[in-house]
Structure 1
Amino acid sequence: MTAPAGRPRARSPGEAFPPDDVATMRIALALARRGLGNTWPNPAVGAVVWTPGPDGPVILGRGWTQPGGRPHAEPVALAQAGAAARGATLSVTLEPCSHFGKTAPCSHAILDAGIARVVSAIEDPDPRVNGRGHIMMRAHGVTVSVGVLASEARWANRGFIKRIVEGRPMVTLKLARTADGYAAACAGPRLMITGPEAAARVHLMRAQHDVVLVGVGTVLADDPLLTCRLPGLEHRSPVRVVLDTTLRTPPGARIVATAREVPTWIVAALDAPGAAETALAQAGAVVIRVPRAPDGAGLDLLAALAALSARGVTRAFCEGGPRLAESLALAGQVDAVEILTGPDRLGRPGLPSIGPALAQIIERDPQMERGEAVPLGRDAWRSYARRR
Structure 2
Amino acid sequence: MPSPSDAEIAAMRRALELAAQGPITGGNPRVGCVLMTPDGRIAADGWHRGAGTPHAEVDALGRLDGRADGLTAVVTLEPCNHWGRTGPCSEALIAAGVARVVYGVPDPGAHSAGGAERLRAAGVEVVGGVLADQIEEFLGGWLASVRRGRPWVTVKWASTLDGRTAAADGSSRWITGAAARQRVHEERAANDAILVGTGTILADDPSLTARGDAGELLAHQPVPVVVGERPIPADAAVRRHPAGLIAAGHRDLAAVLADLNARGLRRVYVEGGPTLASAFVGAGLADAFSVYLAPALLGGGHLAIGDLGIPSMAGIHRLRLDHVERLGDDIHLTGRPVPNPDLHSGRTT
With structure 1 as the length reference, what TM-score do the two structures score?
0.76
Task: State the distance in 2 between where 1:339 and 1:17 align.
Answer: 40
Return the match for 2:129 from 124, 147, 165. Answer: 147
1:89-100 mapped onto 2 (5 Å cutoff): 89-100=72-83
Task: State the distance in 1 between where 2:279 and 2:85 align.
Answer: 38
Task: State the distance in 2 between where 1:191 and 1:65 align.
Answer: 38
1:201-280 mapped onto 2 (5 Å cutoff): 201-230=183-212, 234-247=218-231, 249-258=232-241, 261-269=242-250
Gaps spanning 5+ residues in structure 2: where? 340-349
1:1-388 mapped onto 2 (5 Å cutoff): 18-40=5-27, 42-51=28-37, 58=42, 60-66=44-50, 68-82=51-65, 85-130=68-113, 132-230=114-212, 234-247=218-231, 249-258=232-241, 261-269=242-250, 299-343=251-295, 345-355=296-306, 357=308, 368-386=319-337
Please state how far the C-alpha of 1:329 moved relative to its aligned partner.
Answer: 0.8
When residues 255 and 134 of structure 1 are mapped into structure 2, their CA distance, relative to the original with a 3 A threshold, is same
Contact 1:251 1:257 in 2 (8 A): no
SS of aligned partner of 1:381: strand
Please state how far the C-alpha of 1:220 moved relative to its aligned partner.
Answer: 1.6
The Cα offsets for residues 294-318 of structure 1, whole Å up to 9 and x where unpaired, read as xxxxx11111111111222211111
Please state how far the C-alpha of 1:358 moved relative to its aligned partner.
Answer: 10
When residues 307 and 352 of structure 1 are mapped into structure 2, their CA distance, relative to the original with a 3 A threshold, is same
User: Equivalent residue for 1:7?
Assistant: none
Contact 2:4 2:127 in 1 (8 A): no
Q: 2:254 is aligned with what amino acid?
A: L
The Cα offsets for residues 246-301 of structure 1, whole Å up to 9 and x where unpaired, read as 32x1121111023xx322111113xxxxxxxxxxxxxxxxxxxxxxxxxxxxx111
Identity of paired residues, percent? Answer: 39
SS of aligned partner of 1:184: coil
When residues 305 and 371 of structure 1 are mapped into structure 2, their CA distance, relative to the original with a 3 A threshold, is same
SS of aligned partner of 1:194: coil
Please state how far the C-alpha of 1:364 moved relative to its aligned partner.
Answer: 5.0
SS of aligned partner of 1:177: strand
SS of aligned partner of 1:351: coil
The Cα offsets for residues 319-348 of structure 1, whole Å up to 9 and x where unpaired, read as 1132211100111101011111123x1343
With structure 2 as the length reference, what TM-score do the two structures score?
0.84
SS of aligned partner of 2:172: coil
Please state how far the C-alpha of 1:206 moved relative to its aligned partner.
Answer: 1.7
The Cα offsets for residues 186-244 of structure 1, whole Å up to 9 and x where unpaired, read as 21532312223222322222222111111111112222222222389822111111112
SS of aligned partner of 1:346: coil
SS of aligned partner of 2:34: strand
Task: State the distance in 2 between where 1:234 and 1:358 align.
Answer: 39
- Please report the RMSD computed on the Cα atoms of aligned residues, expressed in angstroms: 3.0
Gaps spanning 5+ residues in structure 1: where? 1-15, 270-298
When residues 119 and 193 of structure 1 are mapped into structure 2, their CA distance, relative to the original with a 3 A threshold, is farther
Please state how far the C-alpha of 1:81 moved relative to its aligned partner.
Answer: 4.3
When residues 243 and 133 of structure 1 are mapped into structure 2, their CA distance, relative to the original with a 3 A threshold, is same
